[in-house]
Amino acid sequence: MRTEVAIIGAGPAGLMLSLLLRREGISSVVLESRSRAYVEQRVRAGLLEHWARELLIEIGAGERLQREGMVHDGIKLSSDGRLHHIDFRQLVGRIVTIYDQKEVVKDLIALSLSQGGEILFEAEATGLEGIESDRPVVHFQHGGEARTITCDFVAGCDGFHGIARPSIPDGVLTVYDRGYPFGWLGILSESPPPADELIYAYHERGFALFSMRSPTLSRLYLQCAPDEDAERWSDSQVFDELEARLGGSCALARGKVLQKSVTPMRSVVVEPMQHGRLFLAGDSAHIQPPTGAKGMNLAFADVVYLSRALTAHYRQNRDDALAGYSRTCLDRVWKAQRFSWFMTQLLHRFPDETAFDRRRQQADIGYVAGSVAAATALAENYSGLPLA
């Protein structure tokens, strides 16, 4: 096979990149190791920043989003049994939207296929060669056969455990890695959420997040040990702990628990995000704690920058944007890491913290809740910094 851009991975990053390139008349082929059914049911959090929502609408993938997405004007902080509203719309004129990532993926796949896009499902990329040349080759298995794609560029949108990043020679990348001494025990419950917006709760027993998938489905999280056994918690124990950490700031409905799992917390950034004709995007280049709700949004930002750079290459014979791709992305990535760390340290209990640390955290929350300047900074970062 021959194409201009070979894209590894049919997650939000790879699918969005393919659509953005198609708008510019640039050909691409997307390789996805899993089946379409698997990809469209893969459970991930789904919060869209203001600009990401507008992008989906602009490219024609926003019909269901506008009908079914849950628009939020802000978030609520819970501390000492009180709720503090951070109003994004009032502070910065922006919103966020709850819309499950698998629904985003469904919409992007449907749009791509309707436009004649080429997505090969159950096509596992097995190796890259020639990424330092002007004709890289992607090897993959599809339909029981070994096949290849020759291309001009490769976009590695295949996640943290994909083959793209390990294909870069040793010594090229610097990996910045930070683990956290806790994880999140998460449940999906058949119950209405306790509020019309997300609640981020600070409590002496640990952090809790009260989110939603729909008006009748709640996604609820508890801070726990990173190696916690989810099955050790009965459904009633989970709800008891959620109620305790909510601190009486509002009522919590109980319902049938449909899913239960533990997610460890981790931050990773690789620099640079490119080598030769291989460009990394999304989780293949960076992971951040979900406290800041940045994962899918950063992936979209990466491929917007990459699509602009590839358009300049093909349409204007300019390669300065390609050369600067990593620098442009990393400026945003590190700001997102900073904000994710800010939200994480603001709300979580750390094993070695002292009474002084707890009082400082309470003062931090009080400052954010009571200061227009501090609340504006939170709103600006949470709802999405403007694209460069």
DSSP state of 354: -
Is 305 tagged catalytic?
Answer: no
Closest CA to 349 of 177, 178, 183, 176: 183
Is 290 tagged catalytic?
Answer: yes
* Helix 101-114 × helix 12-23 angle, to 10°: 30
Catalytic choice (99, 180, 221, 382): 382
Residue 310's φ and ψ, nearest 5 degrees, are -70, -35
Catalytic choice (50, 286, 294, 313): 294
Is the separation of the CB atoms in 136 and 7 below 8 Å? no
Q: Measured between alpha carbons, how far is 88 from 153 in angstroms, rounded to an integer?
A: 39
Encoding tokens for residue 134? 């002007």
Is 294 tagged catalytic?
Answer: yes
Q: How many CB atoms lie within 10 A of CB 189?
A: 26
Could you tell me the end-to-end alpha-carbon distance of the chain, in angstroms, rounded to an integer? 34
Encoding tokens for residue 272? 């640079």
CA distances from 220 to 185, 195, 235, 255 (A): 8, 12, 12, 12
Extract the runs of DSSP E, i.e. beta strands, from the chain.
Answer: 5-8, 28-31, 47-48, 70-72, 74-79, 82-87, 96-98, 118-120, 123-129, 137-142, 145-150, 153-156, 174-190, 199-201, 208-214, 217-224, 256-271, 274-275, 278-280, 286-287
Q: Measured between alpha carbons, how far is 78 from 181 in angstroms, rounded to an integer?
A: 22
- HSE value, Cβ hemisphere, 13 Å, CA-based, for 86: 29
Catalytic choice (76, 290, 313, 348): 290
Catalytic choice (12, 50, 72, 84): 72
Catalytic choice (99, 180, 200, 221): 200
Residues annotated as catalytic are 72, 200, 290, 294, 382
